[in-house]
Amino acid sequence: MMLIPCPYCGPRDETEFHCGGQAHVNHPNDPHAVSDEEWADFLFFRANPKGVFAERWVHAAGCRRWFNVRRDTVTNDIQSSYRIAEPGTVNE
Amino acid sequence: MASRCPGADLPEHPDRLWRTPDPKRAYDVVIVGAGGHGLATAFYLARNHGITNVAVLERGWLAGGNMARNTTIIRSNYLWDESAGLYEHALKLWEGLEAELDYPLLFSQRGVLNLAHSLQDVRDSVRRVNANKLNGVDAEWLDPEQAKEVCPILNISPDVRYPVLGATYQPRAGIAKHDHVAWGFARALDRMGVDLVQDCEVTGIDLVRDRVVGVRTSRGPIRAGKVALAAAGHTSVLADTLGLRLPLQSHPLQALVSELLEPVHPTVVMSNAVHVYVSQAHKGELVLGAGIDSYNGYGQRGSFHIIERQMSAAVELFPMFSRAHVLRTWAGIVDVTPDASAIVGPTPFTGLYVNCGWGTGGFKATPGVGWCFAHTIAHDEPHPLNAPFSLERFTTGALVDEHGAAAVAH
């Protein structure tokens, strides 16, 4: 069972949260200008590292706010959690 | 005389079914991953296409990854034509596979019930039954009493949180003994001269311009005319070494077994809505599967609350399970795609092929996908049955969207 540090509420049990997948994925600035390949990349392709991964979580049973977590996908060690507006390490 | 002990029909294991060769310096085809899909692919490369200068490389031990961790359910009751084509091809091959491999696989066509718990479930299920029939797949819609006739221990009381409103039934579905499937393929491959190389981790893929020429492994470099990836949850790790992005997310998928019990559960029962699936193994364990953990993971362990939910659903559907003890739990790492369908075909690199994205349901496809993937490798173009499962579909938009439709949530 993971203890996830919500930046607003502090550490809480993982059952209070939902995982929202990779963090720092930006919507294309001009959707009409991107190619099919770039659009597919935005919609469907995400990093899938065996190691540290920056991902979004929502504290669904708490403050209901989204934030980012850097977690090791092998050990589940959580290295940091930070608010959406704060810069993180972007996945390759 | 008392009734036969569960497990009495299990065959004795021979001492040795395959050699443990050192890898040669070069092969026509190198397959990465000696699970069900890698082994089946090598088998049909040899049997259908006469290509036997093949190595199947395995990081751990043969069939020790997801093949050893799955819940062994075999069915072909998928909604979309593309999926029904591939899984029904597999089911037909399963029906002849024991004879083909001359090895006992304990393939048991005990049927599968997919339960419906809401009006929407009922509508979706009846639609899937009709779609199955149009595709030549056996399927029936059963009301709760008929479902209970198939599986007498099923609780069809209306006084539960998610009552059973009916079920789809595929009588030809069933289970097989996963280890024996792998061993049957391995023995056949060994006899045909294919090298099964265990304890050999692929760490990189060698290119000359955009053409694959070999792999780097923990046991040295191996040259290869063609390289085929069949590494399930670890496919992204291999593709990353080439800078090849695949639309995959790797998640833990947990299962558990009970202690050995007398035969109580005659079929396979799956429920999408409360998400548990149950069968009874040949030896007598109840085998229970759950949904995936929501987050990405490679640690081969999952969250305890997933097991709690799975158990509470199982006990409501089968009240008699409440006295059964859990013997062990485990997780495999499954590679999930955005449309819950596999990716089987060529890649942008010449001579590199991928078979991945099976998510939670790859075992049932084992012979069918091996057949099609072997064709893809031998002819350098997909078999008609796996052509819809290309990597390009994520760009063209021609998705095979089996979310929910496939009778199991992902």
Residue B111 CA to residue B268 CA, distance in Å, equals: 6
Which of A18, A45, A48 lies closest to B296 in CB terms?
A48
Which of B249, B298, B304 lies closest to A74 in CB terms?
B298
- Cβ B295–A19 below 8 Å, yes or no? yes
Task: State pTM to two decimals.
Answer: 0.95
Residue B299 CA to residue B9 CA, distance in Å, equals: 35
- Cβ A18–B294 below 8 Å, yes or no? yes
Residue B254 CA to residue B275 CA, distance in Å, equals: 12
Residue B17 CA to residue B184 CA, distance in Å, equals: 8
Q: What distance in Å separates residue A65's CA from the closest CA in chain B? A: 18
CATH match of A3-25+44-83 with 3.30.2270.10? yes
Domain boundaries, chain A: 3-25+44-83
* CATH number attached to the domain at B109-172+249-336: 3.30.9.10
Burial class (CB in 10 A: 0-12, 13-18, 19+), A30: exposed
Q: What distance in Å separates residue B100's CA from the closest CA in chain A? A: 38
- In A, minimum Cα distance to B305 occurs at A15
Helix (H, G, I), strand (E, B) or coil at A18: strand
- Cβ A1–B298 below 8 Å, yes or no? no
Q: Give me B308's structure tokens.
A: 């709690």
- Asked if B295 has any chain A CB less than 8 Å from its own CB, the reply is yes
Q: Give me B215's structure tokens.
A: 């792999």
- Cβ B294–A36 below 8 Å, yes or no? no
Q: Give me B69's structure tokens.
A: 């961790």
Tell me the residue type at B105.
L
- Asked if B4 has any chain A CB less than 8 Å from its own CB, the reply is no
pLDDT at residue B1 in the model: 41
Q: What distance in Å separates residue A23's CA from the closest CA in chain B? A: 12
Q: pLDDT by residue for chain B (410 residues), tens digit each?
A: 445 555 566 777 777 899 999 999 999 999 999 999 999 999 999 999 999 999 999 999 999 999 999 999 999 999 999 999 999 999 999 999 999 999 999 999 999 999 999 999 999 999 999 999 999 999 999 999 999 999 999 999 999 999 999 999 999 999 999 999 999 999 999 999 999 999 999 999 999 999 999 999 999 999 999 999 999 999 999 999 999 999 999 999 999 999 999 999 999 999 988 889 999 999 999 999 998 999 999 998 889 999 999 999 999 999 999 999 999 999 999 999 999 999 999 999 999 999 999 999 999 999 999 999 999 999 999 999 999 999 999 999 999 998 866 656 55
Residue ranges, comma separated, of all CATH 3.30.9.10 domains in chain B are: 109-172+249-336
Cβ-Cβ contacts under 8 Å, B236 against chain A: 48-50
- Cβ A50–B396 below 8 Å, yes or no? no
Residue B291 CA to residue B118 CA, distance in Å, equals: 19
Tell me the residue type at B329.
T
Tell me the residue type at B138.
D
- Cβ B394–A44 below 8 Å, yes or no? yes
What ipTM was assigned to the predicted interfaces of this complex? 0.94
Residues of A in CB contact (< 8 Å) with B are 1-2, 14-15, 18-19, 21, 36-37, 40-41, 43-46, 48-50, 53, 55, 71, 73-76
Residue B133 CA to residue B199 CA, distance in Å, equals: 45
Architecture of domain B26-71+179-247+339-406: 3-Layer(bba) Sandwich (3.50)
Helix (H) or strand (E) holding B38: helix B36-49
CB B32 within 8 A of CB B228: yes
Which of B248, B304, B395 lies closest to A48 in CB terms?
B248
Q: Give me B375's structure tokens.
A: 């064709």
Most A-contacting residue of B250, B254, B296, B333 (CB-CB within 10 A), to test interface: B296
Q: What distance in Å separates residue B340's CA from the closest CA in chain A? A: 12
- Cβ B305–A74 below 8 Å, yes or no? no
pLDDT at residue B15 in the model: 76
Q: At what angle do helices B119-134 and B81-101 cross, to 10 degrees?
A: 60
- Asked if B247 has any chain A CB less than 8 Å from its own CB, the reply is yes
Q: How many CB pairs under 8 A join A and B?
A: 58
CB B266 within 8 A of CB B71: no
- In A, minimum Cα distance to B397 occurs at A40
